[in-house]
Structure 1
Amino acid sequence: MNDESTGKPGCVTRRGFLQSALAVAATSNTVAAAAGADIPAGPSAEPAAPAVPVRLSVNGQSHSLVLEPRVTLLDALRESLGLMGTKKGCDRGQCGACTVLANGRRINSCLSLAVMHEGDDIVTVEGLAYHGELTPLQAAFIEHDAFQCGYCTPGQLCSATALLAEVHAGDASAVSPDVRKAAPAWSDDEIRERMSGNLCRCGAYPNIVAAVRSVALKPA
């Protein structure tokens, strides 16, 4: 056999090796098929798990659903209950657009399975207003122009709602000077840290901080 680059006899070229390997593989499959041998099949899709009944309490209403156990809370809210306010952004728990409240605590609904929240009190952005009246936080977002495209706003509002409750309860954050004491006055650093899990691609962060601070500083 001649080398393609040197023309010397006896040298095995890469092209020749690949051609020989392909010929051997084709011959083996042909022989196996003729002999009735089973050729291993390629990878197949994982079968779906059986659906299970799930009862969710969302915005004060009980819903009986039948869901595949791997359905996320985000998909259950949007696709099964039609609550489209909760947004699907990164679907990896990084952007915060899917933030909802579960028993008063904020969670990324894209990272949580619906079956895990049976019996929990779930609140989405649709459940923040009371009888159609905006909360002070929602009104502050409008007053301070704390959103532009609005895609991240539902998650921002849910997260900020939990933030207010956390600080009023005395929960510390990563920037609290002394975790043994209640959180200090509403500094911009405190608000930014506590809202850091919610991203805004429009860059409305200064206005979001101003909106949260304006509500926090009002008398209860």
Structure 2
Amino acid sequence: MKQLKSFFTFDLPVEYSYIYSRFRKTHEGQRDIYASWPAEATRRHMINEYWSNALWHYSLLVVVAAVAVWFYNGQLNGMFMLVGVTLGIAAYLPLYFILYRPIFTGEFLPKLETVIAAYEGRERAWLEKCKQDQLTNRALVLFFYAFDKASKANFLTPSDKCADLLHKIFGSSPDGIKKALDLIFKKDKRAKLEHRHLVEVSKSFEEAYAILEAMQFEEGIQRLKHLEQQFQRP
């Protein structure tokens, strides 16, 4: 009932919460169909929805006015309906300039742009958090190294084949994985590391240890500790 009242007064289509919920529902619904659906496409959809709401709102006003006139006049014939439709169509143009257009440019569009900015900001923040929570390429390789050695598979080598396999498993950059493999298996690469790079490597070991400790994988931890010793400078 409250929403019907808000729609009748044309408050609902320009409420920020309504615009946000409609934008989110529409955008995420289209994203389920088209993975690359952009926010601009949803923006156009929302604008089209606004004018559809405006048309429905005006139609509601015309119907209410017609019912009120019929109630007091008591006549309902072809001429009455023809005059009513004609007046209804003619009255839309003034309302377009007096009501719908000013609300569209002064309220709806600014709120829609704010909604898009807020939604995209939350998406960026979520993606950034995912990146921060995800292990680095080096830590991923160290994690897999622990399993590789503990299982005695001994598959890992500093090769493009291994880098491609880990890329398929983790979805990380093959180049970054290849560099991490080189660092693990090539002594000359480790010898060239500067102090700041050693600090970064130490952090990667800590990331891998945290996962292995959570899994209580002692064998993997020991294998990783043995590897870490090779990075220590005399």
Provide the TM-score with structure 2 as the length reference: 0.25
**Structure 1 or 2: larger helix share?**
2
Q: Rg larger in 1 or in 2?
A: 2
Provide the TM-score with structure 1 as the length reference: 0.27
**Structure 1 or 2: larger strand share?**
1
Compare relative contact order (CA 8 Å, sep 6+) and give the higher one, 1 or 2. 2
